Amino acid sequence: MPSLANILFISTSEYLSWGGSEALWVSTADSLCGQGHSVHFSYQYWPNMPKPLVSLIKRGAYSYFRQTPGGDPVFRRALRWWKRGRQNRQFADFSVHHWLLSLVMRIRPHLVVMNLCDAYLVSDYARPLDCLHRQGFPYYLICQLEDDSQLLLSHKRGALQKIYREACGVAFGSARGAEIVSRQLALNLPHVDIFDNPPNSSLTEQTWPKSTADELRMACVGRLDVGAKGQDQILAVLARPQWRDRSWRLCFYGEGPDENYLKQLVSLYKLESRVYFSGYVPDVDDIWAQEHLCLQPSPKEGTPMTVVEAMYAGRPCLVSDRARMPDLIQAGVSGWIVPRNIDALSQALDLVWKNRERLSEMGGKARDFIVAHWEPSYPSKLATLLLKHALGASFVDSKAGS
């Protein structure tokens, strides 16, 4: 067995250039590069490459961007046909044509690591993953989000059962997430690991911000996607009569597909003087230097790093009862936990208002908890786990028979 590994990371993200779900695999890849291993990654092409990827390439990782514009289409088509012919000669079990198989044929990795923005996005890769398994290439799945309301058709469940059963390992952001997938697939998952995503902050406590007229400053940080994050219900609650005479403001930090819709809701509810859109802010510490409370009433989640980062900054959080969030927040001590229900959210926000003099104290409790229970250096641990799968797994030398 070789002492150095050759590992291929696949990001399934296609609709945003960067998100918190990418941080774990990039940090893990960076750790592997630092140890001298050969690291490759496939990522959706974006005109402005995310800075973490730029840094990863500088560390020595090899990049393969999907749907890169330009080039001669005739030449590309001819190259694809040539690659398919070579693929069929060298890899008997690569019975379908897919870019993932072409990449594996080129790189010949000891391990393929798939980072899934959603646990079931991997169904799109069912056929090539079956080919990898039959050819002897192990693959490892990192699941960043699970949806407890997901309803699977029997044929899709069958395909997903096979994918998860044949994975050499599966990682989840919470034990609850692993339970959800196990139940929805009716499958005992093999080799489950629970990970801690690396926070995108300094991990230092931020000074409690002063506000004029005892104004309550609330922030909702993350992708502007009401189906995943529930920002529309926040606005609906704050438009209720009891909030008219209260001194407060709400700021959305982030970008996403529902930004225009949320701005329309702000206009509908006549909240223009109290609700702000600040876009993407790269320095998380800058956010919590001026905000009091983190709002994350997500209907579906993995483990939102926005909550972890807010807790490190010393801010209390109001979260939904999804995924790992109830494990992080101590109700009434470091924040509030609410079910996915607009009236429950309204009641919880009323409690926030009644306890606004305690928010600083609650933020301190939130920080104490996260410091004691979170492992920000987890990527180095995951790197070790991946090396065990890569260097300890039985794989086919694809040069044989070429």
**Secondary structure of 189-236 in HEC code, one letter for each residue:** CCCEEECCCCCCCCCCCCCCCCCHHHCEEEEEECCCCHHHHCHHHHHH
How does strand 139-143 pair with strand 169-172? parallel
Per-residue tens of pLDDT for the chain, all 402 residues: 457 999 999 999 887 888 889 999 999 999 999 999 999 999 999 999 999 999 999 999 999 998 766 555 555 555 555 555 555 555 544 455 688 998 998 899 999 999 999 999 999 999 999 999 999 999 999 999 998 888 899 999 999 999 999 999 999 999 999 999 999 999 999 889 999 999 999 999 999 998 766 899 999 999 999 999 999 999 999 999 999 999 999 999 999 999 999 999 999 999 999 999 999 998 999 999 999 999 999 998 888 899 999 999 999 999 999 989 999 999 999 999 999 899 999 999 999 999 999 999 999 999 999 999 999 999 999 999 999 999 984 333 333 443
**How many helical (H) and strand (E) elements, i.e. helices and strands, does the chain have?**
16, 13
**Yes or no: domain 6-198+377-392 corresponds to CATH 3.40.50.2000:** yes
Residue pair 390/7 in contact by the 8 Å Cβ criterion? yes
333: Cβ–Cβ under 8 A, 6 or more apart, which residues? 362, 365
CATH of 212-373, one of 3.40.50.150, 3.10.28.10, 3.40.50.2000, 2.60.40.10: 3.40.50.2000
Q: pTM for the complete prediction?
A: 0.88
Whole-angstrom CA distances from 354 to 141, 216, 219, 344 are: 44, 11, 18, 15
Query: Which part of the chain has CATH 3.40.50.2000?
Result: 6-198+377-392, 212-373
